């Protein structure tokens, strides 16, 4: 399922060349600005510093401080806010730059991680369903619910994991640009792979054999 980055990628985002018959349908990465807003909550950070500045300025005004003194403290808060937002923005950019999501005709691959890069290969037979949460900016999140009892560590997935799903973490393509189009590509690939596997099962089924359970259909 997972590969480390101790080898040079023969294909961007993949630890090895796709086998014969497998095609790459889409590749992309998170939008780092959306990642900063949605994951690192930079707007909340700005609001918090603004609230602190207003509170401190009001307290100083009540104590008789001059306008110059209040402005000096406000500038100090603005500087702290800018530094915090800058650090978070750099973290979002580095995370997005080191991420590659790949949708092929057979699987979803996620090359993730900054200090330690891993590539997760998720064959479609492991994916029970795919969802879409679209944001007003056009970016969106595509969480993947996995079938079976096997789990991927939440710590390995983070921040590419669906929030609040700790007991059974779900991989998530996070803050993907043109998320609606990507979700359509993935849904079509899931349906095509399911049809292929059902056709193979039918071809290998012998007369008198009990029908095999149907594979889980992706939403």
Cα separations (Å) of 190 from 1, 132, 150, 217?
A: 18, 14, 20, 8
Question: Two tokens at 52?
Answer: 């602190």
Residue 139 has pLDDT above 80, yes or no: yes
Span of 3-12, 19-28, 64-73, 144-153 with lowest mean pLDDT? 3-12
Domain of residue 61, residue span: 35-95
pLDDT at residue 204, rounded to an integer: 76
Per-residue model confidence as pLDDT tens digits over 186-200: 999 999 999 988 888
Residue 37 has pLDDT above 60, yes or no: yes
Cα separations (Å) of 133 from 103, 137, 168, 175?
A: 18, 12, 19, 9
Query: Could you tell me the CATH number of the domain that includes residue 132?
Result: 2.30.29.30
CA 138 to chain centre: 15
Of all residues in the chain, the percent with pLDDT exceeding 90 is: 60
Is the same domain home to 89 and 166?
Answer: no
Residue 58 has pLDDT above 60, yes or no: yes
Contact 177, 27 (CB under 8 A): no
Cα separations (Å) of 143 from 63, 131, 180, 219?
A: 52, 6, 13, 11
Residue 141 has pLDDT above 70, yes or no: yes
Segment 75-86 shows an average pLDDT of 95
Is the same domain home to 9 and 109?
Answer: yes
Is the same domain home to 125 and 183?
Answer: yes
């Amino acid at each position: 399922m997972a590969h480390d980055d101790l080898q040079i990628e023969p294909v961007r985002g993949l630890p090895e060349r796709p086998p014969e018959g497998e095609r790459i349908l889409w590749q992309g990465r998170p939008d780092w600005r959306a990642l900063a807003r949605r994951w690192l909550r930079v707007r909340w950070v700005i609001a918090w510093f603004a609230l602190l500045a207003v509170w401190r300025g009001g307290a100083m005004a009540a104590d008789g401080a001059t306008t110059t003194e209040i402005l000096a403290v406000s500038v100090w808060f603005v500087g702290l806010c800018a530094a915090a937002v800058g650090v978070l923005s750099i973290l979002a950019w580095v995370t997005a730059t080191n991420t590659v999501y790949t949708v092929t005709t057979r699987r979803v691959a996620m090359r993730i991680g900054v200090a330690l890069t891993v590539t997760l290969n998720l064959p479609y037979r492991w994916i029970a369903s795919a969802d879409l949460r679209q944001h007003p900016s056009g970016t969106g999140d595509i969480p993947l619910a996995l079938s079976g009892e096997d789990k991927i560590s939440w710590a390995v997935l983070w921040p590419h994991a669906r929030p609040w799903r700790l007991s059974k973490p779900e991989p998530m393509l996070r803050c993907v640009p043109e998320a609606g189009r990507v979700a359509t590509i993935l849904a079509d690939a899931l349906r095509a792979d399911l049809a292929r596997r059902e056709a193979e099962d039918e071809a290998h089924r012998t007369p008198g054999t009990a029908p095999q359970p149907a594979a889980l259909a992706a939403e």
